[in-house]
Structure 1
Amino acid sequence: MTVARTDLSPALPPARPAPPRVYQVGGSLRDELLGLPVQDRDWVVVGATPQQLLDLGFVAVGKDFPVFLHPVTHEEYALARTERKTGPGYHGFAVHAAPDVTLEDDLLRRDLTVNAIARGPFALAAGQVGAAAMPGQRQVNAAVELVDPHGGRRDIAARVFRHVSAAFAEDPVRILRLARFAARFTDFSVAPETLALMRAMVAAGEVDALVPERVWQELARGLMEARPSRMFAVLRDCGALARLLPELDALWGVPQRADYHPEVDTGVHTMMVIDMTAKLGLPLDARFAALLHDLGKGTTPPDVLPRHLGHEGRSADLVELVSTRLKVPADCRDLARLVAREHTRFGKIDEMRAATVLDTLEASDALRKPERFARALDACECDRRGRLGFEDSGYPPREPWLAALAAARGVDAGAAAKAAAASHARRDPAASPTEAIRTAVRRARIDAVAAALGKTP
């Protein structure tokens, strides 16, 4: 009996998996398309395992998902991943990063269409990583292209922030990030459907679950952008500001005296002030102080408006409350508290006697921390210039305050104390000279301030 052979062809080897591919993604590509300078680029690796990157010399840094630093450029390379929300707020996500996750899967999880563009593919170089063979630098072929499945280039051209998918709602930090982007890219608007989604997220309580550290991080970054007021405008529009900073949100609609504040509305004034901090290039602590300097006006009784007597003390108390809630760094908190408490007094140096000027300097700890005092004056300049018609007015009290401070600090306290102790010992050898020394040093400083300012001691 003969058995027919049905297949004489050799067995085919199993299909080899496609080699890993690298794509430039995210903000660096967005900024390139906007014609802006780029410092650090981000890359996504498709079709690779963590071990493959480790074998090439990459350094793992991600805790929640696989992110690696290139051993030469130190740029970030993340494995393509998907995310699934498992809990409220920002801290409940299940991450899946594996070779089967596609570039399209990874782009779909991103926040905004302008950040969901990729360029590639590039090859993930094998062997020792070095200047001659760097992942993300060598093309697979000549057909390196932009991958834009969600219309990011269209929205860049239209200057619109639009969410990629309904997954935007899974991460409330994205509300803060979008608001921060609005402060940086000042000619962009928020798509109506994205704003509606943000409002729904706020109504669902997602913003309430944000951790203080992340809220502060995003607010601080937004304050350092080109036009910080736009961040707060977006947060107000979606209702998030009332949840995150109700003390600040309360300022809109609160009137001030028009002779001092032609813009009248306290919230409008505050936004003009923080935009002035950006115009003057102030550091974060001064910008934060400017943001919170008038919080107490939101608690002024309606029957005394538009006057705000005593708002400075209330403002300082609210600065403490906000800073504790958001875990604000001590340097930002302390300067904000100082500016809130003293900004009105700083503007009245021409009306003060020399002794009162010294009292104010000492209450501000200016003799020990002159640099901080100078930043407080910077914030107060923004308070003055953040008003309609005052934008170019400068801050006349600055020079007198700095002159007074220099004079007070220039007093030789040791010499004054020594002379006072000797005089006291001659009069009453048995008594302590402490009070006499304190009085003598104070008198020397008052006299120096009076001489510097041409004032009555």
Structure 2
Amino acid sequence: MQIFKVGGAVRDRLLGLPVTDIDWVVVGATAEEMLAKGYRPVGADFPVFLHPQTGEEYALARTERKSGRGYGGFIFHASPEVTLEEDLIRRDLTINAMAEDDQQNLTDPYHGQRDLEARILRHVSPAFAEDPLRVLRVARFAARYAGLGFTVAPETLELMRQLSESGELEALTAERSWKEISRALMEDQPQVFIQVLRDCGALKVLMPEVDALFGVPQPEAHHPEIDTGLHTLSVLEQSALHKQPLTVRWACLLHDLGKGLTPEEAWPRHIAHEHTGLKLIKAVNERFKAPKDCQELALLVGQYHTHGHRALELKASTLLELLQSFDVYRRPQRFEEFIVACEMDARGRKGLEQRSYPQADYLRGAADVARGVAVQPLLEKGFKGPELGEALKRERLKALKAYKENA
């Protein structure tokens, strides 16, 4: 029995990056031997075991063969005869197909170290094209390592293009897709993830609503970058630069989908795109079964982001409606995420990345004023039920009018 550290742990150590997850491969062992040593089995499809002390994953060396469509369409074969090289060749990228023993001696049959030095993301073998999930994984790695100068090898991008055209991407489950998408959006340069998907034709299969934004012009006065797709990438980039959470990044990606529905004769204006985009945002949300908080914020940002930009001009009654829509009294965090999403939208414009956004503090102040209206005096006046709600709304409106006058 031989044990090797494999994959990301080896890659990141060689890059000088912190190593977080460690995966191990066991060569020359049977499942029975692993059980006898106290390892706990966890793999349903193939033999993976948890170490009795550390809880880290140890997988028996295995080969795989395509047996159907999608990510799950594989037959795995694990036995003591499977070599380390045979196990490594089934991996996605050369930089993930290296192993080292306990003395840090490197096994690198597919030249992963060379590709690390050349900053290239390259597939290990033609079997790469058998797993559609790898399209998303490579795009995610491109987003993660873009800051180090990594790019996707042209021949790998071509394989990704073939996969995108094959219909295999449609076989991916919503859960598997969302796992990759959500992880990619939390990388340092999530806009690279979207760009790579577009470069290989996967974006128009997975998110045609986002792909449709490229080539759609906007008024140059507000959008010096003009192209709506490029603006979306810039907004996503800003959300990462400002360390925003997943909810905000997802909303930033989807906020302008309605502009993809504007008739060409109306370009570059996009009247009511906030409302026309809602059905598209809902469709994307449902396609990937995004978490509820991501879904809700994306819809709210899509509908109200122009309200955010015009916050200083809004009538007090419109401001109150906006606050009510977000339920700022019980869910203050959601309104805060809306505000920062609007700010990312404002900054995601060519040459305007450092612009100030006074609307943010104005909206926060308005929310504080509305929340500060006390209920107790109204109760003491005998208001209750629907009448109490109306009285509370009147008091909040009065407070917002005063706030607007003094702002």
TM-score by length of 1: 0.86
> When you count helix as a share of all residues, which structure comes out higher?
2
> How far apart, CA to CA, are the structure 1 residues paired with 2:110 and 2:6?
13
> How far apart, CA to CA, are the structure 2 residues paired with 1:52 and 1:269?
56
Secondary structure of 2:65's match? strand
Secondary structure of 2:358's match? coil
How far apart are residue 415 of structure 1 and its match?
Answer: 2.2
Q: What's 1:424 paired with?
A: none
1:177 aligned residue (111, 127, 137): 137
Q: What's 2:107 paired with?
A: 147
> How far apart, CA to CA, are the structure 2 residues paired with 1:352 and 1:200?
50
Q: What's 1:95 paired with?
A: 76
Structure 1's 40 and 434: CA in aligned 2 closer, same or farther, altered over 3 A? closer
Q: What's 1:57 paired with?
A: 38
Q: What's 1:205 paired with?
A: 167
> How far apart, CA to CA, are the structure 2 residues paired with 1:367 and 1:351?
23
Q: What's 1:289 paired with?
A: 251
How far apart are residue 84 of structure 1 and its match?
Answer: 0.4
Q: What is the correspondence of 1:44-193 to structure 2 with a 5 Å cutoff?
A: 44-120=25-101, 122=102, 145-186=105-146, 187-193=149-155
How far apart are residue 116 of structure 1 and its match?
Answer: 0.5
For residue 10 of structure 2, what is the amino acid of its counterpart? L
Q: What's 1:302 paired with?
A: 264
Secondary structure of 2:388's match? helix
For residue 337 of structure 1, what is the amino acid of its counterpart? L
1:35 maps onto 2:13 in alignment:
no
For residue 447 of structure 1, what is the amino acid of its counterpart? K
Query: Which has the higher mean CA deviation after the structures are superposed, 362-371 or 180-189?
Result: 362-371
Secondary structure of 1:94's match? strand
Secondary structure of 1:454's match? helix
Structure 1's 435 and 330: CA in aligned 2 closer, same or farther, altered over 3 A? closer
> How far apart, CA to CA, are the structure 1 residues paired with 2:75 and 2:87?
14
Query: Which has the higher mean CA deviation after the structures are superposed, 62-71 or 383-392?
Result: 62-71
CA contact (8 A) 2:174 2:287 kept: yes
TM-score by length of 2: 0.97
How far apart are residue 455 of structure 1 and its match?
Answer: 5.9
Structure 1's 435 and 40: CA in aligned 2 closer, same or farther, altered over 3 A? closer
Q: What is the correspondence of 1:398-413 to structure 2 with a 5 Å cutoff?
A: 398-413=360-375
2:222 aligned residue (239, 257, 260): 260
Q: What's 1:24 paired with?
A: 5
For residue 55 of structure 1, what is the amino acid of its counterpart? A
For residue 146 of structure 1, what is the amino acid of its counterpart? L
CA contact (8 A) 1:335 1:376 kept: yes
How far apart are residue 451 of structure 1 and its match?
Answer: 2.6
How far apart are residue 410 of structure 1 and its match?
Answer: 1.1
How far apart are residue 441 of structure 1 and its match?
Answer: 1.2
How far apart are residue 151 of structure 1 and its match?
Answer: 0.7
CA contact (8 A) 2:328 2:371 kept: no
Secondary structure of 2:277's match? helix
> How far apart, CA to CA, are the structure 1 residues paired with 2:329 and 2:216?
36
Computing the radius of gyration over CA atoms, which structure comes out larger, 1 or 2?
1
How far apart are residue 436 of structure 1 and its match?
Answer: 4.0
> How far apart, CA to CA, are the structure 2 residues paired with 1:164 and 1:365?
51
User: CA deviation digits over 1:355-392, x for unaligned, max 9?
Assistant: 22111110222222111100111111100000012111
Structure 1's 420 and 51: CA in aligned 2 closer, same or farther, altered over 3 A? same
Aligned CA RMSD, in angstroms, stands at: 1.4
1:224 maps onto 2:175 in alignment:
no
User: CA deviation digits over 1:175-195, x for unaligned, max 9?
Assistant: 100000000000111111111
Identity of aligned residues (%): 51
CA contact (8 A) 1:403 1:453 kept: no
For residue 396 of structure 2, what is the amino acid of its counterpart? R
CA contact (8 A) 2:258 2:275 kept: yes
Structure 1's 286 and 228: CA in aligned 2 closer, same or farther, altered over 3 A? same
For residue 320 of structure 2, what is the amino acid of its counterpart? L
> How far apart, CA to CA, are the structure 2 residues paired with 1:363 and 1:203?
41
How far apart are residue 211 of structure 1 and its match?
Answer: 1.1
For residue 154 of structure 1, what is the amino acid of its counterpart? R
Q: What is the correspondence of 1:311-330 to structure 2 with a 5 Å cutoff?
A: 311-330=273-292
> How far apart, CA to CA, are the structure 1 residues paired with 2:57 and 2:311?
52
How far apart are residue 420 of structure 1 and its match?
Answer: 5.2
